[in-house]
């Protein structure tokens, strides 16, 4: 094993690890030396194939199913993870679902499902895992939120509400647990192309996505799951031991850009300051 790996010897649970960002986080944690439990909600294929890949790295790994709309299954997942690994040092709360729907058309069941899966399950899973972390002398929690928790988008009132709740929950929990040795932080990804884009957006393809990202994201590209995975590994490592209660935005500069400037890569023809600022 690489003794210089950031997470050497750590025991980690990653939720929503069957696809996309969560799967890459689990793989990156293993590459950095951690033994892993991968959670999935529906199909086992992605999580189990990732577990096999982790085995090939010489790390321990197992994939467990849990419906995050069912709190009994959420708690059982935490207990299975602790049982398999012998404890949990790092928890990455990545699992979540999304919905775009006009505000006036959202029904109670849709609202409840999103809040149950995205924040209620995260809350009580963390509660269960934190008890084990305290017994072990500490740990690190990384919550995945979204830029939707920071900026407004039409038809995302429910989803954005859950992501904003994660940001607030992260801050409050962090200051409560920091002195007990548990660090809590969050990541707010921007545009990261994952499998769901191809399912949800008619005609979505890599070429069109690349062109759109080049034009709209300041860094000139969409994010990748690995971009987020590396940040999660850092936040759960000892290198980040003085970072507490923060939501790190990883969006290629999207939230830093004023929407009033669509042609942000072109030099402006306007000359504000002319007549009263030297050299203008």
* CA–CA dist 200, 44 (Å, integer): 21
Q: CA torsion 28→29→35→41, rounded to 10°?
A: -80
Helices (H), the chain: 20-31, 45-56, 71-85, 108-115, 121-136, 157-177, 195-200, 206-216, 225-235
Cβ(187)–Cβ(145) below 8 Å: yes
Tokens in use for 129?
Answer: 């895992």
Catalytic pick among 40, 157, 159, 237: 159
Q: Could you confirm whether 40 is annotated as catalytic?
A: no
Catalytic pick among 10, 157, 163, 237: 163
Catalytic pick among 146, 197, 216, 274: 146
* CA–CA dist 164, 172 (Å, integer): 13
* CA–CA dist 193, 43 (Å, integer): 20
Residue carrying the six token digits 């006009």 = 102
Cβ(129)–Cβ(91) below 8 Å: yes
Q: Could you confirm whether 198 is annotated as catalytic?
A: no
Q: Could you confirm whether 259 is annotated as catalytic?
A: no
Cβ(185)–Cβ(174) below 8 Å: yes
Catalytic residues: 146, 159, 163
């Amino acid at each position: 094993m690489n003794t210089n790996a950031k997470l050497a010897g750590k025991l980690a649970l990653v939720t929503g690890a069957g696809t996309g960002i969560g799967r890459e986080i689990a793989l990156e944690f293993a590459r950095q030396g951690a033994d892993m439990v991968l959670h999935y909600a529906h199909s086992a294929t992605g999580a189990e194939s990732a577990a096999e890949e982790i085995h090939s790295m010489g790390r321990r790994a197992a994939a467990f199913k849990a419906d995050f709309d069912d709190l009994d299954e959420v708690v059982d997942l935490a207990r299975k993870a602790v049982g398999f690994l012998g404890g949990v040092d790092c928890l990455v709360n990545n699992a979540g679902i999304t919905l775009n729907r006009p505000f006036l058309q959202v029904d109670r069941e849709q609202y409840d499902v999103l809040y149950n899966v995205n924040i209620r399950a995260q809350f009580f899973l963390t509660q269960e895992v934190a008890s084990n972390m305290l017994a072990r002398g500490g740990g690190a929690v990384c919550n995945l939120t979204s830029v939707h928790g920071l900026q407004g988008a039409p038809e995302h009132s429910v989803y954005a509400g859950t992501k904003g709740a994660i940001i607030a929950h992260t801050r409050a929990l962090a200051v409560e647990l920091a002195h007990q040795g548990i660090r809590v932080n969050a990541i707010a990804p921007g545009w990261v192309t994952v499998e769901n884009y191809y399912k949800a957006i008619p005609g979505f393809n890599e070429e069109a996505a690349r062109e759109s990202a080049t034009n709209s994201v300041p860094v000139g590209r969409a994010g990748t799951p690995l971009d987020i995975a590396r940040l999660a590994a850092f936040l759960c490592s000892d290198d980040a031991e003085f970072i507490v209660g923060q939501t790190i935005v990883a969006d290629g500069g999207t939230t830093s850009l004023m929407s009033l400037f669509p042609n942000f890569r072109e030099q402006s023809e306007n000359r504000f300051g002319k007549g009263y600022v030297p050299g203008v």
